[in-house]
Amino acid sequence: MAEFKLPHNHGDSKNAIKIHGELSNLSRFNNASELFKQLGDTTRLRVFWLLCHREECVINIAALLNMTSPAVSHHLRPLKELNLIESSRNGKEVYYRAADTAESKLLHEILEQVMEVSCPKNGGSEITHKETVHRIHEYLTEHLSERITIEELSKRFHINTTTLKKIFKEVYGDSVAAHIKKHRLEKAANLLKDTEISIFAAAKEVGYDSQSRFTTAFKQEFGVLPTEFRKRQQTKV
């Protein structure tokens, strides 16, 4: 087969060849078209958004949306075929929830960005993004020994990653990582000052598995090594 060539060459023919190859793969575009076609329904998007925040049975979904159970089932079927939702059975009851997939998470994030909606809390009351970020901050400071990713926080607190990082910096003046690092090192400094635990144990207590990494971070924050810091605190007593 002859290599594809544009009628007018504007100096980027390699890029055009690659794009032409992708455009020729109709099956991919057919699959994407089918996805968007199935999602081109307001009720279906409402069902999906609901299941991003609650695992529910058909009867409860119908009640939340003021619909009949058969009508809800009609919308659940294509969402499940697209792998956007999943189900589990408990006795005779079947429960539905958003699938734990990259596609499902991305759609959830896009929906909330487009609608500019806050995620629900405690069965339906809405909270602001700033309130969510305050809760995230509290959670992180209570779990300083754990390394928690932005993605895990996004899933736990039902806030998309972009919004989380943006609002967190607005509220606390630093990125999530930089702000929590300060909390970790401040706690470590207090441990070195008020207890007799080893430097490695103090490092572990605030989420550092490597003593050398902890030592480097501690010196950057306080200007001295942990050993020197402890000696200075002891001479003050």
Compute CA distances 23 → 17, 19, 26, 27, whole Å: 10, 6, 7, 10
The Cα 68–Cα 53 span in angstroms is 21
**Higher pLDDT pick, 22 / 9:** 22
- Residue 37 contacts residue 45 (beta carbons within 8 Å): no
How far does CA 49 lie from the centroid of its chain? 15
Same fold, 26-104 and 178-236: yes
Compute the mean pLDDT over every residue in the chain, rounded to the nearest whole number.
85
- pLDDT at position 122: 39
- Any residues with CB less than 8 A from the CB of 185 and at least 6 apart, and which? 206, 217, 218, 221, 222
Could you tell me which residue, 235 or 9, shows the higher pLDDT?
235
Given a cut of 70, whether residue 226 has pLDDT beyond it is yes
- Identify the CATH number of the domain defined by range 178-236: 1.10.10.60
The pLDDT value given to residue 124: 39
Q: How confident is the model at residue 175 (pLDDT cuts 50, 70, 90)?
A: very high
Examine the pLDDT at 45 and tell me if it is beyond 80.
yes
Would you state the pLDDT for residue 215?
94
Structure tokens that stand for 128 in this block: 């602001």
Give the 3-state secondary structure percentages of the chain, helix then strand then coil, rounded to 5: 65, 10, 30
**In the predicted structure, residue 13 carries a pLDDT above the cut 90:** no
Whether 123 has a pLDDT exceeding 60, the answer reads no
Per-residue pLDDT band for 200 (boundaries 50, 70, 90) equals very high
**Each residue's pLDDT tens digit, 208-219:** 999 999 999 999
- Residues 15-30 have pLDDT tens digits of 777 777 888 888 878 8
Number of alpha helices (DSSP H) and beta strands (DSSP E) in the chain: 13, 5
On whether the CB atoms of residues 29 and 63 are closer than 8 A, the answer is no
Is the pLDDT assigned to residue 140 strictly greater than 60?
yes
Amino acid at 115: M
What is 26-104's CATH topology? Arc Repressor Mutant, subunit A (1.10.10)
Annotated domain spans of the chain: 26-104, 118-173, 178-236
Q: First CA to last CA across the chain, in angstroms?
A: 84
On the question of pLDDT at 118 being above 90, the answer is: no
Using CB atoms within 10 Å of the CB of residue 206, give its burial: 0 to 12 exposed, 13 to 18 middle, 19+ buried: buried
The whole-angstrom distance between residue 79's C-alpha and the CA centroid of its chain comes to 21
The pLDDT tens digits of the residues spanning 143-168 come to 999 999 998 888 888 777 888 888 89
Instruction: Please tell me whether residue 88 adopts helix, strand or coil conformation.
Output: strand
> Helix crossing, 42-51 with 102-115: angle to 10°?
110
Average pLDDT, integer, range 45-62: 89
pLDDT tens-place string over residues 72-82: 999 999 999 88
The closest of 148, 142, 150, 143 to 169, measured between CA atoms, is 150
